Structure 1
Amino acid sequence: MNSVIDITGLHKRYGRRTAVHSLDMHVKPGTVYGLIGPNGAGKTTTLRTLVDVIRPTSGAVRVLGEDPRHGGARLRRRIGYVPGELRLEGRITGHRMLSFYAGVSGPVARGYTAELAERLGVDLSRPVRSLSKGNKQKLGLIQAFMHRPELLILDEPTSGLDPLVQRVFLTMVREARDAGQTVLLSSHVLSEIQQTADEVAVLANGRIVADGDVSSLRLGSVRRVRAGIEQADAAQARAVLENVPGVEGLELTASDGAVRLSATVEGGIDPLVKALARFTVQDLTIEEPDLEESVLRLYGNETTTRSHEDEGDAR
C-alpha cells in the first residue's frame, strides 16, 4: 500500500455552496499528517468523507485501500475516529460506554483502556452525562486509541482539553506513529501540528493552498510581540522601532512613565530584540498569531482569488 489515504479530485457541494473543491491528498503509512486551516475551510467535510459519514459530490476516496462507501464495519474497525463535534450522553458509566465501543471496534488489550484513562485523567466510574466537555473529549480519545487501529482520524481532538492533557495527547500521537500507525490530525491550533506532524496541508476555502513539511510552509514565521519598556516616551520608542525589519502594525501606548508596545513580526525576531535592548524592558511576550491570521498573511492572495472564482462558478 503506497498511501493509507488517497483523495483525488474530491468535490463536495451543499446546494450552491462548495465546501470542498477538487481536493487531492495522499497520506503515507506510519506518518502524522496535519490538516490545518481556519474554521469553515472544509477540514471536517473532508474527514467525514473518509469515514463515510457524508458522501462526495464527485471525486475518488480510498482509505486503507478501500472505498469508504463499500468498506462497511470491516473497514471502520481498522480506524479510530474522533469527530469534530463529539456528543456523548447517557446514564451509563464511562466503563460501560467504552466496553460497548470495544465490542464494535475489535479487540482491546487487557488493561489498556484503564491505562489511557489514567494518563488522560478521567474517572470511568462516573455517568457519562455528568462529565464535563473536557472529560467527554477524553472518552472520545480513549475509544479512538484503545484498539490500536491502523489509522487514526482525529478532528479537532484537543477541543476542551487543558494544556497538560493536550501535552499527554500529543505524546500519544507520537507513540502511535512510532508504533507504525498512521494519524490524520485536523486542527486550527498551529502548535499541535508543529509538534507532531511529518507533513501538513493548509486548507482554505475548500482547497489545499499549500502542502509539505511544516518548516517549508513558513507558518511559524509570523509572531505577535507585546512588551513594556521603561525610560522612554512613545515618540522615542517609535523612532527606534518602526523601521526594524519585519515589524508591522506597531502600536505604542504611554502610561505612568512606561510605554506598552504591540506589533506583528514576520521573519527573524532578532532585529526587534536588539532594538528593544536599547531600553529597560519590563516584560516581553512573543506568541504565534492564530492559524487563520497565519494562513491569510502567507497565502491570502491565493485564497482570496480562488474564493472569488468559486463565487463566480456558483452564480
Structure 2
Amino acid sequence: MTSTPAIETVGLTKRFGDFTAVQDVSLQIGPGEIFGFLGPNGAGKSTTIRCLLDLIRPSEGECRIAGLDSRKDAVEIRRHLGFLPSDLALYPNLSGRETLEFLANLRGGVDWAWVDSLADRFDADLGKKVGELSSGNRQKVGLIQAFMNRPEVVILDEPITGLDPLVQLEFHTLMREHVAEGSTVFLSSHTLSEVERVADRVGFIRRGHLIAVERMSELLDKALRRVTLEFSAPMPAAAFEGIEGVHSVEADGATVTAQYEGSMGPLLRAATAHDVLSLESSSVDLDEIFLEFYRDEVTEAEGGDAPEPAAASSAAERA
C-alpha cells in the first residue's frame, strides 16, 4: 500500500470577504482509512470539501487528492474520485439508470455488473424517473454513482440523509469493504453517532478551526459515563466536586447528576455517606466527551465561553 496520503490539506484557509469559513486546516488521511469529518452545520465541512474538489479556490494553503494537486490536476483527480454532495441535484426527467448511464459516459464507462450489484444491495429502483423518487431513493442513486467507478478516494457529505436503517447498514458494510481493498472514504457529517460505527479516525471542526483529530478507538477509551443520584434531601454539587474521576457535577434539589470516567467507586463512596434513594447510570454521547476533553480548544475557536456539552450537542443538531 502506498504511503502517499489519499487526502491532504496544508494550511487550508478560505475567506469570503471578511468572513473566514476555514482557517489553517491541515489534514493527512491515509489509504485504507475511513475518516469522519465532524462539526455542526456551518462549521466549514462543505467549504473544505469544495476546496478539495477545486469547486472553489482556497485563499491560502494547498489541497491534494491521491498525491495530485487539487487545482493543477483537477481533471486527473476525477478519474480517482467518487463524490456525493450534501445538496445532491439530479435531472428529474431521467430515470435512475439513465442518470447513471449519463455519468458513466462522462467517466469513460463503468463495470455495469458492479453497478447492478450496488443497486441490488441498496434495493434501488432505477426504472423510475428521478423526479418521482423519494429523497431516500434519490440518495441511493447518489451513493451508487459515488462508488460505481470503484474510486481510490470517496468523499461523502451527509450521505445517510433519507436512508432507512437497513440501507444504512448496507452502506456501512460497503464502506468497510471499500477500504479493505486499500481505498479511502472521507465521511463528512454533523452527527457523531453516524460515523462512530465505521470511522477509523475523526476530525472535529468548529467555526472553521480543526479542533482535534483522534483515533476512534482512543476517543472511546476516554468514554465518560453519567450517573443520576436521587437523595432523600437536597444535596449540594460541592459534595461531589474534586472526587477522583469526576468531570462535572450538577445538583437540582435532591437530584445530583455527575459525569465520570474510570471506576464509579470513589463517587459511590461519597454518595453512600448520604441517604441515596435511587441511582441510574448511562453512557455519555461521544460529542459530549469531545466537548469535555477539548473545552479549551472549543473556547478558543468560538472566541468565548465554551458551551456546556449537552447544550452544545443540542445546538449542533439544530444548526
* TM band (smaller chain): 0.7 to 0.9
1:289 to 2:285 alignment: yes
In structure 2, give the amino acid aligned to 1:236: S
Alignment match, 2:259: 265
Normalising by structure 2, we get a TM-score of 0.79
Alignment match, 1:300: 295
Secondary structure, aligned partner of 2:179: helix
Q: CA deviation at 1:144?
A: 0.3
- The C-alpha deviation readout for 1:165-201, integer Å capped at 9, x for no partner, is 2111111110000111111111222233322222221
Determine if contact 1:6/1:27 at 8 Å carries over to the other structure: yes
**Structure 1 24/235 Cα, relative in aligned 2: closer, same or farther at 3 Å?**
same
Q: CA deviation at 1:250?
A: 5.7
Alignment match, 2:145: 143
**Structure 1 273/73 Cα, relative in aligned 2: closer, same or farther at 3 Å?**
farther
Distance in 2 between residues matched to 1:103 and 1:58, nearest whole Å? 35
Distance in 2 between residues matched to 1:48 and 1:12, nearest whole Å? 10
Q: CA deviation at 1:273?
A: 10
Determine if contact 1:6/1:61 at 8 Å carries over to the other structure: yes
**Structure 1 163/273 Cα, relative in aligned 2: closer, same or farther at 3 Å?**
farther
Distance in 1 between residues matched to 2:126 and 2:268, nearest whole Å? 49
Determine if contact 1:205/1:303 at 8 Å carries over to the other structure: no
Distance in 1 between residues matched to 2:90 and 2:175, nearest whole Å? 23
Secondary structure, aligned partner of 2:26: strand
Instruction: Determine which of 37, 40, 62 is the counterpart of 1:38.
Output: 40
Determine if contact 1:34/1:201 at 8 Å carries over to the other structure: yes
1:74 to 2:68 alignment: no
Alignment match, 2:203: 201
Alignment match, 1:158: 160
Alignment match, 2:124: 122
Q: How does 1:37-56 map to 2 (within 5 A)?
A: 37-56=39-58
**Structure 1 249/63 Cα, relative in aligned 2: closer, same or farther at 3 Å?**
same
Alignment match, 1:9: 11
Secondary structure, aligned partner of 1:69: coil
Secondary structure, aligned partner of 1:169: helix
**Structure 1 135/265 Cα, relative in aligned 2: closer, same or farther at 3 Å?**
farther
Secondary structure, aligned partner of 1:192: helix
Distance in 2 between residues matched to 1:107 and 1:249, nearest whole Å? 60
Identical aligned residues as a percent: 38
**Structure 1 69/170 Cα, relative in aligned 2: closer, same or farther at 3 Å?**
same
- The C-alpha deviation readout for 1:223-280, integer Å capped at 9, x for no partner, is 56789xxxxxx643876x9849456446689xxxxxxx8956342585689989x878
Determine if contact 2:223/2:286 at 8 Å carries over to the other structure: no
Distance in 2 between residues matched to 1:138 and 1:5, nearest whole Å? 25
Alignment match, 1:174: 176
- The C-alpha deviation readout for 1:210-235, integer Å capped at 9, x for no partner, is 113113235972456789xxxxxx64
Aligned alpha-carbon RMSD (Å): 3.3
- The C-alpha deviation readout for 1:128-182, integer Å capped at 9, x for no partner, is 0111111111111110011100110111111222222211111111000011111
